[in-house]
Structure 1
Amino acid sequence: MDSTSSRIRRLATRALPGLALGALPLLAQAHVKWFAPYIVEAPPQRISETLHDPWFWTGIGLVLVFFLATRAIERTKLGEGILHGFDVVTGPLWSRNDDFMRFIIAAFFVAIFAVGGVYLTPDLKTSSEWVSWMQLVIAGLVFSRRTMPLAAAGIIGLWLLALSQYQLFHLLDYLALGVGVAAYLVLAASDNPEWNRYRFVVLRWGVAIALMWSSLEKFAYPDWFYPLVEEKPFLTFGMPRDAFIPMAGVAEFTMGFGLLWTALIRRLSALTLFIIFNMAVYPFGRLDMVGHALIMAVIVVIFADPTPQVRFAIRRTLSAIPVTLVATMAAFTMGYWGLHHALYEDDANAAVASAAARSTHTHDPERPHAALPAAEPKQEPAGHAGHGAPAAASSSTAQEAYLASMSRMHGDMEAGVRHPDADQAFVRGMIPHHRAAVDMAKIQLKYGKDPGMRQLAQQIIAAQEHEIADMQAWLKARD
């Protein structure tokens, strides 16, 4: 009997890589908002374009094969052997799961304190120094059961502080994870055993929802990823860009979905996600590792969790997998597109008068992602202006807006090129030139109707804002 069990465990060990990785291409991915320009309020790509994409359905098909095969194996002796092998490997970690989780939470807040100038993630920047010290306080509060609820309140407080500077839609990526971690701290500190036993369940749901929500960016705004893929072409593993992006989105969504399913699917999904996130560390560096530290830690805990956690009979059937996957994807899609429409496109006739002024990637050092009023664009010295709203955002016609933007550009460019240093003159002249290109693209998004030109305008905004950021950083280093 013991020799049979050993053979099963050895077979499980050999089968594991194929089960976890064979269903999908290994797609190294980072959070695009940390490394590339983006504009949250720009109209998302129509859902129909994703539904007509054969690569999207290829990804869905591969994942369904993976899930169905895994669920079928889970019912067999082989499945039991694989799960037992996982338990043997992760048993020491699971016996200290709370210590591990609290250490990682504390280490994460110490790390972002050391990075400085951010709220919770790399793209949520702040100039308030006391925010960083608040992160250090949260790290200290994690180590006592009495103060863990205060740490949880601090995490929610940081999110609310970020909400005062950033737009709600932009922050939804991080809400589920933040609530999950905060709820874990509260439940872990509770003396009520009924509450306490759900502490890792809320973590799992928080990460799963965060992954599924953020994955929709790859379908709604594939052009956000173009500069990143062009800068690091090896990320696609030789796949065409337009094939890689939808399949990466499918991988992220479905593995997040898998975290909510039966034990073997859950644990293999966690293992696959852990490998994917680790593959992003080398090309994107420590910033990516710090930003994803909490998610990666929770994924490790999910992988180590030996409990079956099949609370609903529907999860035990094979036919439920495709049905619930489609239903979950439909619900998240309707929520994402519907909420975006409610926040940014309520005034269909005016196309939201200030839409061209709002940007969640403005590179303004004081309010890096905040909206500027359309009628009062931020004014700074020539060559130093933050990338804010078009000067003519409130103009009544596209022609007036274009002419006003050009008029502003010529004055700023002329002032910039007067600098005595040739390099600085070039940069100070090119910044308003690029800003004018972005202004024109935003005016096109406000007034234009042609789908091709609207897509080109979004690509221009992404590329030009990225170059503006580089030039402003170059200037700042010489101030």
Structure 2
Amino acid sequence: MLLLAGTGSASAHVKWFCAYDVAGQPRGLEQVLCADFEWLCALAIGCLMFGCLAEGTPLGTALLNALDRVTSRIRTDTELLVRCTLGFFLVSLWGLGGIILTPELKTDAAWISWLQLAMAACLIWRRAMPLTGLGIVFLFAYATSQYGVFHLADYPVFLGVAAYLILRGLDIEPYGVRPLDIVRWAAAVTLMWASVEKWAYPQWTHPLLAAKPGMTMGASPELFMQAAGVIEFTLAFALIWTPLVRRAAAIILAAIFISAVFEFGKVDAVGHSGIIVVLLGIAADDARRAVRVRDVVAAPAWYGGALASFLALYYLGHEVLFGTLSSLPVI
């Protein structure tokens, strides 16, 4: 919890505030998977298992009931909150100009700003929401053509939001899958990928830590970035786990993103507004299922599998696209 208290500023997207080079050589896996990293992951797995155990007790049921009561208004108005927040986001992008969906994706095409304003207008009418969703998909594809697949891998949450708008506007649930679940999975993937970037390129954040040394709470920049990445990965993984665990993770993540706004101002407020409202919707979601023993027992295996998968996807994907690794990493 002490580590968590100091990670708010690190949750500002480093590409918005510091120089970066996506095509540059990432830190070797043999450096990432050090003893500190392993201890942090073991602690994270212990917390995840404890959360699952607590959820199956009367205390867990009481916490879920309390969350249901406190978040009832958010749950009732989740769609309205998403529409209003995305409207604010898109109008802000139109006002700033020269941006495709997120602050570091710059463009000289003037029509993109006006398209984003039109997409905001479509959110006024529920039946027009799918047009905004299709607009987000189009802009995501356009940005991918300009900046590459690897760069846009930071933002699959946009596709999740687009799916939410399209499905809610058409009032359908394909194969019984709720639109909120789709955007929840997209948010989890986005944050797990972003946490790997903290381990692969910790040097991107060094200027930020030098300017704001209080962020590290006395820890070395190396340990701080490892901890920030593990915390973000664990909370993101928790978004796809059991109901109480994912709701608690959504609340903590939303608090971290909101706290970062006070450090970094309106750029961070605009850039993260979409994921913040999604996290609030997840925190208010009252869907439940019985927690089984296998949820607790399987947590380490699923967590480890997710961690290994994202590390492999990041490093192998980087090698395929940029060819920066001269040989397979030694672990």
Give me the TM-score of the superposition, normalised by structure 2.
0.92
Verify the 8 A CA contact 2:319 2:325 in the aligned structure 1: no
Q: Gaps (5+ residues) in structure 1?
A: 1-20, 350-479
Verify the 8 A CA contact 1:23 1:65 in the aligned structure 2: no
1:323 aligns with 2:301: yes
Identity %: 37
Q: Gaps (5+ residues) in structure 2?
A: none
Residue of structure 1 aligned with 2:312, choices 328, 331, 334: 334
Give the 3-state SS of the residue equivalent to 1:164 in structure 2.
Answer: helix
Instruction: List per-residue Cα deviations over 1:305-364 (Å, max 9, x = no partner).
Output: 011257xx8785311111100000101111111110000118969xxxxxxxxxxxxxxx
Give the 3-state SS of the residue equivalent to 2:190 in structure 1.
Answer: helix
Opposite residue 315 of structure 2, the aligned amino acid is W
Give the 3-state SS of the residue equivalent to 1:38 in structure 2.
Answer: coil
- How far 1:57 sits from its partner (Å)? 2.2
Give the 3-state SS of the residue equivalent to 1:122 in structure 2.
Answer: strand
The equivalent of 1:43 in structure 2 is 25
1:66 aligns with 2:47: yes
- How far 1:95 sits from its partner (Å)? 1.2
Opposite residue 317 of structure 2, the aligned amino acid is L
The equivalent of 1:86 in structure 2 is 67
Verify the 8 A CA contact 2:130 2:170 in the aligned structure 1: no
Residues 273 and 328 (structure 1), Cα distance of their counterparts in 2 relative to 1, 3 Å cut = same
Give the 3-state SS of the residue equivalent to 2:90 in structure 1.
Answer: helix
CA distance in 2, matches of 1:232, 1:248: 15
Give the 3-state SS of the residue equivalent to 1:165 in structure 2.
Answer: helix
Give me the TM-score of the superposition, normalised by structure 1.
0.65
Residue of structure 2 aligned with 1:97, choices 78, 85, 95: 78
1:300 aligns with 2:280: yes
1:261 aligns with 2:236: no
Residues 22 and 82 (structure 1), Cα distance of their counterparts in 2 relative to 1, 3 Å cut = farther
- Higher relative CO (Cα under 8 Å, sequence separation at least 6) belongs to 2
Say which structure is richer in helix: 2
Rg bigger for which structure? 1
Opposite residue 49 of structure 1, the aligned amino acid is Q
Consecutive aligned runs of 4 or more in structure 1 exceeding 3 Å deviation: 21-26, 191-197, 313-316, 346-349
Give the 3-state SS of the residue equivalent to 1:147 in structure 2.
Answer: helix
Residues 140 and 90 (structure 1), Cα distance of their counterparts in 2 relative to 1, 3 Å cut = same
Kindly report which structure 2 residues correspond to 1:51-450, keeping only aligned pairs within 5 A, or say none: 51-52=33-34, 54-174=35-155, 176-192=156-172, 198-308=178-288, 316-345=294-323
The equivalent of 1:32 in structure 2 is 14
CA distance in 1, matches of 2:58, 2:292: 22
Residues 315 and 338 (structure 1), Cα distance of their counterparts in 2 relative to 1, 3 Å cut = farther
CA distance in 1, matches of 2:172, 2:148: 37
CA distance in 1, matches of 2:193, 2:54: 29
Residues 282 and 24 (structure 1), Cα distance of their counterparts in 2 relative to 1, 3 Å cut = closer
- How far 1:194 sits from its partner (Å)? 5.1
- How far 1:283 sits from its partner (Å)? 1.4
